[in-house]
Amino acid sequence: MKPYHNSPLLYEEGFSIIINEVSTPIENSTFYYFDYDKRSHSVNMDFPHFHSFYELMILLSPKAYHFVEGKRYDLIANDLVVLQPSVLHQSEYLPGPPSDRIIIGFMLPKQISFCASGYKEILSVFNSPVPVFRFHREEQNRLYQKLNEIVDIARTVPNVNVRNLLIHSKFTEFLFLLYEMQELNHYVPNVENGVKEKIYTITNYIHTHYTEDISLASLADTFYISPYYLSHQFKNVTGYTVVQYIQLTRIKNVQYLLLNSPMRITQVAESTGFSSFSQFNRVFRKFCGMSPSDYKLSSHQTSYHPVAPDAKQ
């Protein structure tokens, strides 16, 4: 494990820390996953995904993009992305050498008996309207030193129970420091200045209005674009038709509700923008290859990746 070039973080490709397996019922346990690895342009995801746990991503390589609820954020080295559970997101790495990054997934029990209000307060940093933090080097040194200390604990403390407790304690310090430093964030989101940015604005609108009756025509009216132009540019930028993108966004949210809420299947269909239960069943089978009830009975997963059909809608 060595200091990464132009970063205060220690890094070693393939290093990981796991406390409890992801198959453990997330809502009733403490879970941590630290992954020090790289990703390349060739493995970019086709569509946003989500998790049932909190996630942080620190980019170490020069540049990448991250989409959160359809909005694009430009990243540079040492930027920190923070994501709440169930938020649709997607990384896009640029052509060329693979990008090094650190991913941290974690979840605390929903009912914490000790200092519950304190945990709730420091976790409020994940509610930030801008999910990317960019700090000057002095602040980076302070914040990322906590993660380096976690690496040292993982490598040197032999007793697994003591090691896990120390990692949990040190990560709580990291969260508190991030909470304390959030006002020092100097990240500025991109300003709309082209066709791609306009399409990203529309994808963000879809992610925040998918429960409503939206269509190609209504989006064209809302954003003062001709339906033909929107259809053409939307497919060029996202790889999906407008209808496919709307349906995939709804299905992603359906999947989360099926596995993480007490709602009945009919209630899920009504709350996610489908015009009828028959349409809901048809679209779900098309994207997921099974019925909603079969999906709900299947093993609980922590992220979900339905594949868009090749046929046009």
Q: Are residues 105 and 229 in the same domain?
A: no
pLDDT score at 159 = 97
pLDDT score at 189 = 85
Using an 8 Å Cβ cutoff, are 60 and 100 in contact?
yes
Write the CATH number for 154: 2.60.120.10
pLDDT at residue 46 tops 80: no
Euclidean distance between CA atoms 280 and 163, whole angstroms: 47
Q: Are residues 271 and 200 in the same domain?
A: yes
pLDDT score at 312 = 39
pLDDT at residue 161 tops 90: yes
- Write down the pTM of the prediction: 0.80
Using an 8 Å Cβ cutoff, are 252 and 305 in contact?
no
Range of the domain at 132: 2-184
Q: Are residues 155 and 219 in the same domain?
A: no
Q: Are residues 119 and 260 in the same domain?
A: no
pLDDT digits (tens, 9 = 90+) for 66-118: 999 888 899 999 999 999 988 889 898 888 888 999 999 998 877 676 778 89
Most confident of 6-10, 71-75, 253-257, 295-299: 6-10
Write the CATH number for 242: 1.10.10.60
pLDDT at residue 23 tops 70: no
The number of folded domains in the chain is 2
Using an 8 Å Cβ cutoff, are 31 and 106 in contact?
yes
Euclidean distance between CA atoms 274 and 310, whole angstroms: 21
Instruction: Specify the 3-state DSSP secondary structure of 76.
Output: strand
Per-residue H/E/C for 216-231: HHHHHHHCCCCHHHHH
E strands of 191-248, at which residues?
Answer: none
pLDDT-derived band at 310, boundaries 50, 70, 90: very low
Q: Are residues 145 and 25 in the same domain?
A: yes
Instruction: Name the residue among 185, 213, 167, 192 with its Cα closest to residue 78.
Output: 185
- Does 310 map to a domain? no
Q: Are residues 155 and 33 in the same domain?
A: yes
pLDDT at residue 10 tops 90: yes
- What mean pLDDT, rounded, does the chain reach? 88
- Does 304 map to a domain? no
Q: Are residues 216 and 108 in the same domain?
A: no
Instruction: Name the residue among 234, 247, 263 with its Cα closest to residue 207.
Output: 247
Mean pLDDT of 218-232: 94
Euclidean distance between CA atoms 14 and 283, whole angstroms: 38
